[in-house]
Amino acid sequence: MPDVTASGTGTRRRARLLWAVAALAYAVDLGTKLAVVAKLEGRTTVSVLGDWLVLRVQRNPGAAFGMGEATTIVFTLIATAVAVVVIRYSRRLASAPWAVALGLLLGGALGNLTDRVFRAPGDFQGAVVDFISVRDFSVMNLADWAITCGCALALVLSFRGSPTDETAAAAPDDSVASGARGA
């Protein structure tokens, strides 16, 4: 019989990790956006690595690569849904790597959601502040990077077969069970 007390403590610890990663990602994103808007908006680009990486403030009402500018409210709803799902899922995380992955997703989603809710033109249709311009690619912000890294980590964990929640972690492995039956 599994030790419920130890499992509950581990789950709470992983949930705290998720919240800490989300808070850090959110704070760094919000802080950089505030600084960039205050110091760089309306000015010329700032070269970081030649013309490969520059800082350039750009307001983006759409999604990645400027797609969907007329459907800003849809991205607001998607970010809200992601945040709700991650928050609900945080109560049954199976591993610290999943806590980090989902924390990055939550922090990034909340970072861009904050822009959508509070930046002009308002009414849940605000434009996201992007400022990291990678040559011949896109202009992004740190929330986008957090989301990208969280998704990449989630993909790696999924391909490795790492269980996402305690229910899946506690379930017997089908390959082991079928091998035991064949013996």
pLDDT above 60 (res 130)? yes
User: What pTM value is reported for the model?
Assistant: 0.79
- 116 Cβ neighbours under 8 A, 6+ residues apart: 72, 75, 76, 79, 124, 125, 126, 128
Question: Cα 131 from chain centroid?
Answer: 18
pLDDT above 80 (res 76)? no
Give the mean pLDDT of 131-146: 92
- Cβ atoms of 81 and 106 closer than 8 Å: no
Beta strands in the chain (DSSP E): 46-49, 53-60, 128-134, 138-140
Cα distances (angstroms) measured from residue 79 to each of 57, 75, 176 = 22, 6, 38
Alpha-carbon distance 80 to 82, whole Å?
5
| Of the listed ranges 52-61, 76-85, 149-158, 164-173, the one predicted with least confidence | 164-173
* Residues assigned a catalytic role: 130, 144
Please state, rounded to an integer, the average pLDDT across all residues of the chain: 82
Alpha-carbon distance 180 to 178, whole Å?
5
Note the pLDDT tens digit of each residue in 49-64. Answer: 998 999 999 998 766 5
pLDDT above 70 (res 137)? yes
pLDDT above 50 (res 170)? yes
**Neighbour count for residue 167 (Cβ, 10 Å):** 10
pLDDT at 31: 98
Note the pLDDT tens digit of each residue in 82-101. Answer: 889 888 888 888 899 999 99
